[in-house]
Amino acid sequence: MTPKEVLALCREKDVKAIDLRFMDFPGLWQHFTIPVQNLEEDTFEEGLGFDGSSIRGWQAINESDMLVVPQPETALLDPFTKLPTLVMICNIQDPLTREDYSRDPRNIARKGVNYLKTTGIADTCFVGPEAEFFIFDDVRFDAGVNEAYYHVDSIEGQWNRGRVESPNLGYKLRYKEGYFPCPPADQMMDIRNEMAQTMIDCGLRVEAQHHEVASGGQSEIDLKFAPLVEMADDLLLYKYIVKNVARRYNKTVTFMPKPLYSDNGTGMHTHMSFWKDGEPLFAGSGYAGMSETAMHAIGGVLRHAPSVLAFTNCTTNSYKRLVPGYEAPVNLAYSRRNRSASVRIPMYSPSPKAKRFEFRCPDPSCNPYLAFTALMMAAVDGIQNKIDPGDSLDKDIYDLPPEELAQIPKTPGTLEESLMALQEDHEFLLKGDVFTKDVIDTWISYKMENEVNQLKLRPHPYEFCMYYDI
C-alpha cells in the first residue's frame, strides 16, 4: 500500500483517527493518535515528532526529540476502537540527521535482513513462531515494603474442582492434560476462534488454534511463516488482538512464561529457514533431509545460544520455565522429531520448502524484532564459520545416564547468566552494524538494573514458608 492508497482508504472507510505505533526497547507496543486530517502525503516522508526520553531504554532528556515515520504497507483498520481508526507501524528517526535510530528494535531487524542479503548466503529469512499464552478470569498482584503476593484464577483450573460456583459443572483440566481436549473440557474454544478470526480479518495468516498442555486456560494460535520483519510486526498485532478479544469476554491474557507453579509454562517455539532466489537452502541429503548449510546454521545457534537467550528469553520469569520436565529444553542439542532437544528438525513434510529448524527455547515475553534477529545472526555466523553442530541426540535427553547428560551443554539458569553470556559473546551480533555496541550495552544495563537487581532486592513469598520459623 502506498501513501496515496492509505489516504484513499481513510476516505473510503470514513476513518476519523490515525494510530501510530512503534516498539519500545524492552518489547511493548507504544502508540499515540492523531486526527485523520493531520495525516498528509508528506507525513510519510517528514514524520511526526515525539518525546523519545519518555520511552524505556531510549534517549536522554537533553536529546529527547525524535520522529515517527509511518510505514504505509502496515496500515490496517483497528478492530477494537469505537471511533473508526487506522493503525500504522512506524520507524524511528533522529530529527536532525534523519538517520534511523539505532535503538529502534524494528530498525535492528531491518538492518539484520539487509545484512543477510549482503552476505550472499540468502535473501530471505522466514520465521514461524508458535506463541502460547494463558487466558485467566482474574489476576491480582502487588509488591510493597511489607507484602508481596500474586493470585491468578481460571474457570478451567484444576485447583477449582471443589469451588462453590453455583453450580460447579466439573470439567476442570488436570495438570499437564490440557493438550487437545474437546469442549466442554476446553472452555476457551469460542474465545480462541474469535481471536483467530479477528487475526484473519486483519490480514494475518492463521494456521491453527488449540488448547495447550497446562490447566487454567493455556492456549496457542499459530501463524504461517513470513519474512522476519513482517513476522515481528505480525506478532505484535497478534498479541494486541489476543489481549483485546479476551477483554471482550471479561478475561485477561498474559504472555508471561511461567505464571503457574508445577504446570507447563508458556513458550514460543520458533521455526527458521533461509531462502535465496525463491529456493529453500535448508533442504539436502544430510541428516533429517537437511543441507550442509542448514547444519552449520544449527551449529551457530547451539554455539551462541547462551547469549541469544538474553533476547529470546529476556525476563527473570523466563528461567522458571527453562527447567527439566516441562517440555522446555535446557540441553543444547539437536534432533529430528525429538522435543526434548533445544533445536528440533520437524519431519511433518518431505517437501524441500518445509525444511527448517525449530529453536524451542524462546518464549513470547521477548521483543520479537530483537529475538528473531539475534537468532538469525547466530545462524548466519554458523554458516560463515562452518560451525559443526556435533552429533544428533535422538533419544529422550531427560532419561540419559548422569555421566552422559553431564557432557551436553546447558542453557543459562537465570537471566543474569544469559546477560553475562551476551557480555562475553556478542561479536556475531555486531556484524554489518546490525546490533551496535550501544544497543548491547544498553540492553544489558537496562535488564540488570530494572529487572535482575530489582528481583534480588525483594524477599520472595516462598522464603517465608521456608525460613520464617528459623
Q: Which residues carry out catalysis?
A: 51, 130, 132, 212, 220, 269, 339, 358, 360
Q: Which cell numbers hold the place of 36?
A: 485523520
Rounded to whole angstroms, how far apart are CA atoms 143 and 215?
26
47: exposed, middle or buried (Cβ count in 10 Å: 0-12, 13-18, 19+): buried
- Residue 177: partners with Cβ closer than 8 Å, 6 or more residues away: 213, 215
Q: What's CA 467's distance to the chain center, in Å?
A: 37
CB 295 within 8 A of CB 387: no
Query: Comparing C-alpha atoms, which of 90, 28, 23 is closest to residue 255?
Result: 28
Rounded to whole angstroms, how far apart are CA atoms 105 and 23?
7
Query: Comparing C-alpha atoms, which of 217, 234, 115 is closest to residue 171?
Result: 217
| Main-chain dihedrals φ then ψ at residue 148, nearest 5 degrees | -155, 130
The answer for 276, left when phi > 0, alpha when psi is -120 to 50, beta otherwise, is beta
- Residue 179: partners with Cβ closer than 8 Å, 6 or more residues away: 210, 211, 212, 213
Rounded to whole angstroms, how far apart are CA atoms 264 and 323?
10
Helix (H) or strand (E) segment spanning residue 54: none
Query: Comparing C-alpha atoms, which of 14, 16, 63 is closest to residue 39?
Result: 16
Rounded to whole angstroms, how far apart are CA atoms 401 and 255?
35
Q: Please state, in angstroms and as integers, the Cα–Cα distance from residue 150 to each residue in 140, 153, 212, following that order.
A: 6, 10, 23
Which SS3 state, helix, strand or coil, does residue 193 take? helix
CB 300 within 8 A of CB 389: no
